[in-house]
Amino acid sequence: QARLAESGGGLVRPGESLTLSCAASGLPFTRYTMAWFRQAPGKEREFVGVTSQRTGSNFVADSVKGRFTISRDNGKNTVILRMNNLKPEDTAVYHCAASSGVIVSQMRSHTAYNYWGQGTQVTVSS
């Protein structure tokens, strides 16, 4: 049974940083495309970033480019989202997702992912 567990969320002030981690178990981690999405109250789930060893893809959404980076540690079956210069509009629940066969053109779509974590809350407020 595949399981994704996020950690690292919290309450920070604008301009501060957070690092989110997603620990994966029960799946062949290196074969999976791993992504982060976020969802704010009353809004749709939004793509944040993706990393895929299979396709060599590693990119983040334009809305966070230059502030967020995504990486993976295959030895620890973990995907990491480093978030710098956080803004109030980054406030959301951040979810980790995994897919075994998503193609590059679909990586930004939440419907392409078949495993999801419960999410971790990130709140940016002064």
Q: Is the pLDDT reported for residue 32 higher than 90?
A: yes
The predicted model gives 38-50 an average pLDDT of 96
Confidence tier at 103 by pLDDT (50, 70, 90): confident
Kindly report, residue by residue over 47-68, the tens digit of the pLDDT: 999 999 888 889 999 999 999 9
Q: Is the pLDDT reported for residue 101 higher than 90?
A: no
Q: Is the pLDDT reported for residue 14 higher than 90?
A: yes
| Among 15, 2, 6, 43, CA closest to 117 | 6
Residue 98 CB contacts under 8 Å (≥ 6 apart), including other chains: 2, 4, 24, 27, 32, 33, 34, 35, 113, 114, 115, 116
Considering the chain, what percentage of its residues have pLDDT values greater than 70? 100
| Among 34, 4, 23, CA closest to 107 | 34
> What's the pLDDT score for residue 18?
98
Kindly report, residue by residue over 67-89, the tens digit of the pLDDT: 999 999 999 999 999 999 999 99
